[in-house]
């Protein structure tokens, strides 16, 4: 049976249009501010860039059409998001940056009509930002979400939430939070979690300190957030009670893949810069690009780019078919996070001193992509999950053959 790996002319045309917009509008601003979005203007810059993206017809390619988006499926997002990720500010300009992009996806699939009108529509249109509050300090939820300690207790007319979150991306300036809290069971148990929607100005909800991290391109920082008797009415329950662990998979698999798409664009930029440099730079009586050691790095970058795209295509195909795609997304995320860093690291090496300076973007690209090996699940946790599935399948097969 033939397999068609081509994209439609419409998707390729959109990717080209995004690429042009990034190069002509966004890259000059990123370069001027060395990839620091707060220094470049923060939310004021976001509003400006998103207005320009709307005018260019490239805004919110993932969002439902009724909310101003282009409703691309996961497969068609890949080349478009990669083109946007060529600039560190590109995803923000198109309203496809984390965590908003993942929250749009989650709300589109789980929210009820009233919640979509109140939360999804303004988020998809770029009128507001949002945050997804799941990660907690030890011993709470981190790589193991079942360790969830934030608790929501039933009260008259709704729920009262108490807990402490941290590393909550985009929390400073978010208009609303999706809060992951335990409604039954105890920490360590897989069930019993529920998602809640709460405006950021709800009494008892406090955004604390920014946790300083390597990356500088995400709006709103990575913050501590405190919930002290935060009341959420029943209308703020996202989906059904105690099904939060099920719903989080609706968000996490696709969000991991869109991270891959965006960071692959950044890595490709680093590779393009390095190749252009070694093709011209003369040293040891020849062009650097004619030296075997440099050619190996160029070839290895090309291999890592191609392999990342191939794994991404497979995972997105499964997601578009409605499959959980747990294994394929873990494989793609783990390989990509490490390959993307290798690509940027080799690119910096090929450019010598310039590669670690601010004269080229390679140093800031390395700074931005390194956390991806931790964000959305550390590589080690994904490897453990992959192996657990494989060994578990072998054990079941052995039992069935007895």
Helix 326-350 / helix 244-280 crossing angle, nearest 10 deg: 30
Instruction: Categorize the per-residue pLDDT at 119 as very low, low, confident or very high, splitting at 50, 70 and 90.
Output: very high
Q: Quickly list DSSP for 191-212.
A: S-EEEEEEETTSTTEEEEEE--
To the nearest whole percent, how much of the chain has pLDDT over 90? 94
Mean pLDDT of 269-290: 94
In this prediction, residue 402 carries a pLDDT of 80
Give the C-alpha separation, 201 to 193, whole Å.
23
Domains of the chain: 9-97 (1.10.540.10), 130-238 (2.40.110.10), 246-401 (1.20.140.10)
| Poorest-pLDDT segment among 75-84, 109-118, 186-195 | 186-195
Which among 337, 312, 315 has a CA at the least distance from the CA of 328?
315
The β-bridge relationship of strands 205-210 and 222-233 is antiparallel
State pLDDT tens for residues 353-384.
999 999 999 999 999 999 999 999 999 999 99
Which among 142, 86, 30 has a CA at the least distance from the CA of 263?
86
Instruction: Categorize the per-residue pLDDT at 282 as very low, low, confident or very high, splitting at 50, 70 and 90.
Output: confident
Which among 279, 299, 301, 300 has a CA at the least distance from the CA of 290?
279
Q: What are the percentages of helix, strand and coil residues in the chain, rounded to 5?
A: 55, 15, 30
């Amino acid at each position: 049976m033939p397999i068609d790996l081509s994209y439609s002319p419409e998707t390729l045309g959109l990717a080209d249009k995004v690429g042009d917009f990034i190069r002509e509008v966004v890259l000059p601003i990123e370069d001027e501010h060395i990839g620091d979005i707060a220094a470049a203007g923060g939310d004021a810059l976001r509003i400006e860039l998103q207005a320009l993206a709307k005018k260019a017809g490239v805004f919110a390619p993932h969002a439902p059409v009724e909310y101003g988006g282009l409703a691309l499926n996961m497969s068609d997002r890949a080349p478009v998001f990669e083109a946007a990720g060529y600039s560190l500010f590109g995803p923000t300009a198109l309203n496809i940056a984390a965590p908003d992009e993942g929250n749009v996806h989650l709300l589109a699939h789980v929210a009820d009509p009233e919640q979509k009108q109140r939360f999804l529509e303004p988020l998809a249109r770029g009128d507001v930002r949002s945050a997804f509050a799941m990660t907690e300090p030890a011993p709470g939820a981190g790589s193991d979400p079942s360790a969830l300690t934030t608790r929501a207790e039933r009260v008259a007319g709704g729920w009262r939430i108490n807990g402490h979150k941290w590393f909550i991306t985009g929390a400073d300036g978010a208009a609303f939070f999706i809060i992951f809290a335990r409604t039954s069971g105890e920490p360590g148990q897989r069930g019993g979690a529920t998602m809640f929607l709460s405006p950021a100005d709800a009494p008892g909800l406090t955004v604390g300190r920014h946790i300083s991290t390597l990356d500088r391109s995400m709006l709103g920082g990575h913050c501590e957030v405190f919930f002290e008797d935060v009341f959420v009415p029943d209308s703020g329950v996202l989906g059904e009670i105690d099904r939060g662990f099920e719903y989080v998979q609706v968000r996490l698999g696709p969000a991991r893949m869109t991270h891959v798409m965006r960071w692959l664009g950044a890595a490709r930029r680093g590779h393009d810069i390095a190749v252009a440099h070694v093709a011209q730079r003369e040293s040891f009586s020849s062009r650097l690009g004619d030296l075997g050691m440099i050619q190996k790095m160029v070839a290895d970058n090309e291999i890592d780019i191609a392999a990342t795209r191939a794994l991404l295509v497979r995972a997105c195909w499964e997601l578009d078919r409605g499959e959980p795609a747990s294994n394929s997304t873990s494989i793609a995320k783990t390989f990509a996070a490490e390959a993307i860093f290798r690509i940027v690291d080799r690119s910096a090496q090929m450019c010598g001193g310039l590669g670690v300076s601010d004269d080229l973007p390679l140093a800031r690209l390395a700074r931005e992509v390194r956390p991806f090996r931790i964000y959305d699940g550390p590589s080690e946790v994904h490897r453990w999950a992959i192996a657990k599935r494989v060994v578990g399948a072998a054990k079941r097969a052995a039992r069935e053959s007895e």
